[in-house]
Amino acid sequence: MNVNADQQETPEPWAGCSETHVAVVYFAGDRAVKLKKPVALGFLDFTTREARRDACRSEVDLNRRFAPDVYLGVGDVRDESGAVVDHLVLMRRMPVRRRLSDLVRAREPVEDALRDVARMLAVWHAKAPRGPQIDRHGTRDSLRGRWTDSITQVRALPPPITDRASEAVDEIERLTLDYLGGREELFAGRIRDGRIVDGHGDLIADDIFCLDDGPRVLDCLEFDDALRRLDGLDDAAFLAMDLERLGAPVLAEEFLCRYVEFSGDPAPTSLWHHYVAYRAFVRAKVALMRSAQGDHRSAPLAHEYCDLALRHLRAGAVRLVLVGGLPGTGKTTVAGGIADSLGTTLLSTDRLRKENAGLGPEETADSSMYAPERVAANYDALLARARALLDRGESVVLDATWGAAEARSEAVRLAHETGAALTQIQCTAPETVAARRLASRRGGWSDADVSVAQALARGFAPWQDAAVLDTEAPADECLTRALALVRPTAASRVFARRSLMEPD
């Protein structure tokens, strides 16, 4: 970062000291040394010299994976007689003004540094230790247990601390359990693909320094191996969450986009959201605990983290959207618009029918393909494809007539079994408008004409659970109303997973 001569920054003090609840760091010149405190905090025990020595060695070994030129080694502290009385971590001192969190707050350009961090993390994950003992931390049930433990710990705090957060915690729990309930195959697939690694475990902007020759990532989680064993995307989501908390959601998304690009990770965006939400809620829990201990500054921060978690859980909810109606009512246009706007998969009975018969969109299907048993089989195939996507965390829009109550009941059951948020939309239009639309059709996946529409209307069962959408209005207005039905609580679309190689 260049500065003018009259804007030169005041040099950092030659010496200094920083303290946390587990260590004291002393700075002098271009060096720093870290001493572990002789404390026992439940999750760690540094009360013996041997424990502190082992912790120092572990810290150096683990952090050299990300910053080998910063962690110089382990030194001994000796008394006047020369006897070893303690140990310390020897480090290269980092320039505090190059801390990523400060640069983000100052709106300095950090895109290149974040790209390098994403690459560094992906490179480490590619060669990180793996195996059954690590994989077990990546199961759906393991993640659900961590969520449940954190929620239980928050609810056990004194009422004045949790009163404001209680409603948010209730919704966080519901959305979390809905998501995890139907995603066993998603997490099993992550394990099969080798996505569970021994990673960093505590990737936050305060511990990243942006130097001229590249970023340095410090302070990986060394005191508990289990907390470092996680999905690689979860590891990256920690920093994305922190960047968003610092007021940089675009940087957060770009960082995750870079990470999945470098790691080749095909995870659905619902999982991006879920891991960001998990990291935010863990931070909310810690802030609430500090508030309960008398730190009144932590309460607002806790609510900020809760809001962040809720925003991502809502955006990442897996959705099943049924868009139905008679031919000519605009259901296919509406369904396609919803899918494009939300970045979800679109499945259509018309297309599925012809593809299964080996026909293209311009070819006409044989009338036998519309026999009741063939129609029922087509809906079964549609729902089977939808199930496979929902199980993997992908939302789905289903474009079909949905005239039969039995098919709708099967779709409702599918949503329940996969923990998907269900929206049912019935498109309608005046007969004259529908007829005009059908008359103007030229090719496409649907073969329906006015006579087919009239026949379907006679057998269309009442659809009480659907929201009725009149499509006589302009297409953009209809789409806006449809999107409000699908995601009424989502203020905006985030994590669009756009390619960073494409122009905006």
Q: What is the CATH number of the domain that holds 423?
A: 3.40.50.300
Query: What pLDDT score does 503 carry?
Result: 33
SS3 label, residue 66: coil
For residues 242 and 348, membership in a common domain is answered with: no
Check: CB of residue 288 under 8 Å from CB of residue 298. Answer: yes
For residues 282 and 361, membership in a common domain is answered with: no
Residue 3 lies in a domain: no
Query: What pLDDT score does 491 carry?
Result: 37
Number of structural domains in the chain? 3
pTM for this model (two decimals) = 0.88
For residues 210 and 243, membership in a common domain is answered with: yes
Query: What pLDDT score does 42 carry?
Result: 76
Residue 497 lies in a domain: no
Residue 493 pLDDT exceeds 60? no
SS3 label, residue 427: strand
* Measured distance CA(423)–CA(486) in Å, rounded: 6
Category of 493 on φ-ψ map: left (φ > 0), alpha (ψ -120 to 50) or beta: beta
Residue 352 pLDDT exceeds 70? yes
For residues 339 and 370, membership in a common domain is answered with: yes
**The domain spanning residue 262 has which CATH number?**
3.90.1200.10
For residues 251 and 375, membership in a common domain is answered with: no
DSSP characters for 210-260?
EETTEEEE-----S-HHHHEEEHHHHHHHHHHHHHHTT-HHHHHHHHHHHH
> 218: exposed, middle or buried (C-beta count within 10 Å: 0-12, 13-18, 19+)?
buried
Query: What pLDDT score does 368 carry?
Result: 60
Query: What pLDDT score does 240 carry?
Result: 98
For residues 145 and 276, membership in a common domain is answered with: yes
Mean pLDDT of 129-143: 96
Residue 149 pLDDT exceeds 50? yes
Query: What pLDDT score does 20 carry?
Result: 81
For residues 168 and 307, membership in a common domain is answered with: yes
Q: What angle do CA 276, 497, 208 make, to 5 degrees?
A: 50
**Residue 6 pLDDT level (bands cut at 50, 70, 90):** very low
Mean pLDDT of 395-404: 96
Among 254, 288, 315, which residue terminates a domain? 315
Query: What pLDDT score does 362 carry?
Result: 67
Query: What pLDDT score does 456 carry?
Result: 81
For residues 246 and 217, membership in a common domain is answered with: yes
For residues 57 and 110, membership in a common domain is answered with: no
Q: What is the mean pLDDT of the chain?
A: 90
Residue 422 lies in a domain: yes
Mean pLDDT of 127-154: 96
Distances (CA, A) of 49 to 53, 54, 75, 86, 219: 6, 9, 13, 6, 21
Task: Quick: pLDDT tens for 410-424.
Answer: 999 999 999 999 999
What length is written for the chain? 504
Query: What pLDDT score does 494 carry?
Result: 53
Among 71, 92, 113, which residue terminates a domain? 92
Backbone angles phi, psi at 23, to 5 degrees: -155, 160
> Residues of the chain with pLDDT > 90: what percent?
74
Residue 273 lies in a domain: yes
For residues 119 and 77, membership in a common domain is answered with: no
Q: Which residue has the higher pLDDT, 17 or 495?
A: 17
Query: What pLDDT score does 448 carry?
Result: 67
Residue 213 lies in a domain: yes
Domain extent, residue 20, equals 12-92
Task: Quick: pLDDT tens for 79-127.
Answer: 999 999 999 999 999 999 999 999 999 999 999 999 999 999 999 999 9
Category of 393 on φ-ψ map: left (φ > 0), alpha (ψ -120 to 50) or beta: left
Task: Quick: pLDDT tens for 271-314.
Answer: 999 999 999 999 999 999 888 888 888 889 999 999 999 999 99
* Measured distance CA(181)–CA(420) in Å, rounded: 9
Among 258, 283, 315, which residue terminates a domain? 315
Residue 494 lies in a domain: no
Cross-strand bridge partners of residue 397: 321, 346
- Give the single-character DSSP code of 79: -
For residues 474 and 454, membership in a common domain is answered with: yes
* Measured distance CA(46)–CA(53) in Å, rounded: 9
Q: What angle do CA 470, 450, 396 make, to 5 degrees?
A: 50
Residue 245 lies in a domain: yes
* Measured distance CA(274)–CA(289) in Å, rounded: 23
**Residue 367 pLDDT level (bands cut at 50, 70, 90):** low
Residue 498 lies in a domain: no
For residues 85 and 146, membership in a common domain is answered with: no
Mean pLDDT of 190-219: 97
Query: What pLDDT score does 499 carry?
Result: 39
Query: What pLDDT score does 164 carry?
Result: 74
**Residue 365 pLDDT level (bands cut at 50, 70, 90):** low
SS3 label, residue 131: coil
Task: Quick: pLDDT tens for 432-444.
Answer: 988 888 887 766 6
Mean pLDDT of 398-407: 95
Query: What pLDDT score does 498 carry?
Result: 43
Query: What pLDDT score does 201 carry?
Result: 95
* Measured distance CA(285)–CA(306) in Å, rounded: 9
Task: Quick: pLDDT tens for 447-489.
Answer: 667 777 788 888 899 999 999 999 999 999 999 999 999 986 5
